């Protein structure tokens, strides 16, 4: 699935991570759970909605490049959000 429009960054990333983890995500369901608004999905709202739907969501502050490399090498893809 390609990002269907410019405001679908987060749901597209979530879908890609689930696909990488060999799940069978339904893009429309993921997009709906991310609760996109007129300016896209609000991260904290989307993450809470995904948690409530039963998805495991971890938030980590202050990642260093070495942390990202380790996570990816362990098969744990990340979605990175910059302020």
pLDDT-above-70 percentage for the chain: 98
Report pLDDT for 32.
Answer: 94
Mean pLDDT, range 24-45, rounded to an integer: 92
Residue 1 in this model has a pLDDT that exceeds 70: no
Q: CA-CA distance, 47 to 70, in Å (whole number)?
A: 23
Residue 17 in this model has a pLDDT that exceeds 90: yes
Q: CA-CA distance, 4 to 42, in Å (whole number)?
A: 18
Longest dimension (CA), the chain: 36
Closest CA to 19 of 65, 79, 63: 79
| Mean per-residue pLDDT over the chain, rounded | 90
Contact 46, 10 (CB under 8 A): yes
């Amino acid at each position: 699935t390609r990002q269907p429009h410019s405001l679908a960054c987060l749901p597209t990333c979530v879908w890609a991570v689930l696909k990488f983890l060999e799940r069978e995500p339904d893009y429309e369901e993921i997009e709906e759970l991310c609760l996109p608004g007129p300016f896209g999905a609000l991260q904290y709202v989307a993450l809470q909605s995904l948690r409530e739907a039963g998805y495991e969501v971890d938030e980590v502050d202050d990642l260093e490049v070495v942390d990202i490399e380790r996570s990816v090498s362990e098969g744990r893809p990340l979605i990175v959000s910059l302020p």
